[in-house]
A = this chain, B = another copy of it.
Amino acid sequence: MGRVDDLSMFRGPNVAVDIAVLTVVPAPLSGTGLSQLAVLVEQPDFVADGTVLPGRFLREGQTVAQAVADALHVKAGLVGLDVLPRLLRVFDDPGRDPRGWTLSLGHAVSVAFEHLEGARGQLAHVDGQGAADAGSPLLFDHDVIVREAAEGMRARYELEPDPDGLFGVGFTLAELRDLHEGVLGQQLRKDTFNRRMVEQLRPQTRSDGTPVLRTRGGRPAQVYLRQPRPGVPPASRRRLVLPRETN
């Protein structure tokens, strides 16, 4: 930031936030029998054929996070979620909005499917390439936002158990794997997946020390909780950094 005493010499752009609300549709509801990554879209009233992400202009005195929360409230009818918007990129083409100079801050948020119950809009399936299959094409740069949002979420879900916290409470390894397969859009190896994840989880126990179990048609499974300590590096990812002074 430079030294400019009179800011009024600059006319700032209108700044919008556009949000890819990502969720995982549970297997029984997805139609395919598998959990599926999906994004919340809506049909705007100002075009006949087109789909957009929820978005909103930033008001003075607001933070970006507040504008995101407002957009989710006003556009999607979602209230009271405490989400962590992740900034993806800025769309800054000076001619991108014919109505005037606007910037758009593309964001991603991950929301548990249950919290999208009363939401307005539709859930569009996100395919392996990050393309949303809404009925009509995504307008503006919104396809890019969805693709980058999906890419980021997939990268996060490859090494850590449910890093976005879509499970509110405990979960079994099978439920966790369903979730991860939905996010990644790929099947995962059960044994390797379990080995990687177990070491980052804590088995849930009752106060008397007995394990909390959950059954799904077979042998009951241990229920796990995310470790309270975040940022534990997955053991599998060896680092080049030297622990000592050697060489």
A residues near B, CB below 8 A?
Answer: 1-5, 7-8, 10-16, 18, 44-46, 52, 55-65, 75, 87, 89-90, 92-94, 97, 99-105, 140, 158, 184, 186-190, 192-193, 196, 236-242, 245-247
Contacts and interface: CB of A to CB of B under 8 A. Distances in A.
Given A2-B55, A187-B242, A189-B247, 9 more contacts: A1-B97, A4-B99, A10-B14, A13-B58, A87-B89, A158-B240, A186-B242, A188-B241, A192-B240
Given A2-B75, A64-B90, A240-B193, A10 B188 contact: no
Contacts of A99: 4-5, 7
A162 to B, nearest CB: 14
14 contacts: A1-B102, A2-B44, A3-B44, A4-B99, A11-B12, A12-B12, A62-B94, A65-B92, A184-B241, A186-B242, A187-B247, A189-B240, A190-B247, A196-B240
Contacts of A242: 186-189
A75 to B, nearest CB: 7
Given A187-B245, A239-B158, A56 B89 contact: no
Given A12-B12, A46-B3, A63 B241 contact: no
A52 to B, nearest CB: 7
Contact of A15 (B4, B12, B89): B12
A15 B15 contact: yes
Nearest to A56: B2
Given A7-B99, A246-B189, A1 B52 contact: yes
B7 A102 contact: yes
A181 B192 CA distance: 33
B57 A4 contact: yes
A13 B16 contact: no
Contacts of A97: 1
A235 to B, nearest CB: 13
A84 to B, nearest CB: 13
A239 B184 CA distance: 12
B247 A1 contact: no
Nearest to A88: B87
